[in-house]
Amino acid sequence: IRTRVAIIGAGPAGLFLSHLLHRAGIESVVVDARSRDAVENTIRAGILEHGTVDALVESGASTRVLTEGLRHDGIELRVDGEGHRIDFADLVGRSVFLYPQHEVLRDLIATRLAEGQDLRFEVTALRIEEPDSATPRVVVHDTTGVEQVIEADFVVGADGSHSVARAALSGARSGYFREYPFAWFGILCEAPPSAPELIYSTSPGGFALISQRSASVQRMYFQCDPAVDPASLSEERIWAELRSRVPGADLIEGPIFQRDVLRFRSFVAHDLRRGRVALVGDAAHTVPPTGAKGMNLAIADVLILERALRALLLENDPRLIDDYAETVLRRIWKAQHFSWWMTSMLHVAPDATEFDRLRRLGELRSVVESRAGRTYLAEAYTGWPLTD
């Protein structure tokens, strides 16, 4: 197989990149080890930054985000039962959109297939060869185990946190890493929204996030031990945990039809580009979920990389690709900080002392009681400008 850009991974980053490249007249092949059904139906993130929505709409990747997505002009930060609204619209004149990641993926897959994209599901990338040459290759195999080689002018690793592509750069595990001593117990339930906006709540028992998916399905999370087995808690116990972490709020309960435990990690790969191979999205970095930066960061990487690939492949100009890592790392580390900050400010660490708890409350007050504090949160949450 011969193509201009070989993209490993049909998540938001890989598919959006193939979409933008197609518009620039650059053909690509996208492979993903998962089935189309698995890609389209796995429940992941839910919040899109303003700039992410603009990028999807302006590029023609999704129009449904405007009709099906719900605009949120703020969030509630709840501290020991006391609610504080962070009014994004007033503070920074921007908003976010609640539009689940799997809907973004359905839109992208439909668009890509309608435009004739070579998109292969259940094709696993094994390794990248000759990353420093003008024709790097991806060795793949399909479900029958038959190996094939995709030869390209450039290879992009958009293959998530267990990236195979990363091994061709500084090594699969090579990066800056931090693990947190807690996780999120996540549920989907059939119920109307408990509140008009998302509630980020901290209480002596730990953190909870009351999020949404639609008028009839809600997504909620509470801080838990990473070793918890999701099947081990009864529905009554789950609701009791959620109620105790959002004191004073009336949560509307309903049947729980999905549950999972999300690990908390921060990671940035040491190298994001080598020769004619680059990493985007979770292959390049992982953030803990608090603050909803993961998918937005992936889209931001892709916008920068696509410009660099256009310059390289259409004009033979390597300057932007040479700057790719430095350019995206500026945003990545801001998002790493924001995700770490929201996480550490809102969660109760298992080994926290009384000093830690009181300092954290002081930190929360410095944010909610100050327009400057709320503005920083609003600016980061709704997203920094995507391109200059």
Q: What amino acid positions are annotated as catalytic residues? A: 72, 200, 289, 293, 381
Binding mask 89-128 toward ligand DHB (x if CB under 6 A, else -) reads ----------------------------------------
| Amino acid making up residue 255 | P
| Amino acid making up residue 43 | I
For residue 142, give every residue at least 6 positions away whose Cβ sits within 8 Å of its Cβ, in sequence order, or none: 120, 122, 123, 124, 148
Which residues, numbered 149-168, are part of the site for ligand DHB (CB under 6 A)? none
Is 201 a binding residue for ligand DHB by CB under 6 A? The answer is no
Size of the site for ligand DHB (CB under 6 A): 11
For residue 334, give both structure tokens: 């801001």
Is 292 a binding residue for ligand DHB by CB under 6 A? The answer is yes
Contact at 8 Å (CB) between 138 and 5? no
Q: Which helix (H) or strand (E) holds 273?
A: strand 273-274
Q: Tell which one of 10, 47, 238, 377 touches ligand DHB (CB under 6 A).
A: 47
DSSP string, 322-349: HHHHHHHHHHHHHHHHHHHHHHHHHS--
**Which span sits near ligand DHB by CB under 6 A: 85-93, 222-230, 289-297, 312-320?**
289-297
Is 273 a binding residue for ligand DHB by CB under 6 A? The answer is no
**Which span sits near ligand DHB by CB under 6 A: 80-88, 228-236, 270-278, 286-294?**
286-294
**Which span sits near ligand DHB by CB under 6 A: 6-14, 39-47, 175-183, 224-232?**
39-47
Cβ neighbours of 240 (radius 10 Å):
12
Return the sign of the alpha-carbon dihedral for residues 59, 90, 102, 3.
positive
Is 30 a binding residue for ligand DHB by CB under 6 A? The answer is no
Beta-bridge mates of residue 200: 77, 209
Cβ of residue 98: shortest distance to ligand DHB, in angstroms?
A: 7
Is 46 a binding residue for ligand DHB by CB under 6 A? The answer is yes
Which residues, numbered 202-241, are part of the site for ligand DHB (CB under 6 A)? 209, 211, 219
Strands 217-224 and 206-210: antiparallel
Q: Tell which one of 62, 291, 300, 327 touches ligand DHB (CB under 6 A).
A: 291
Strands 256-269 and 175-190: antiparallel
Give contact residues for ligand DHB (rule: CB under 6 A).
45-47, 198, 209, 211, 219, 289-292
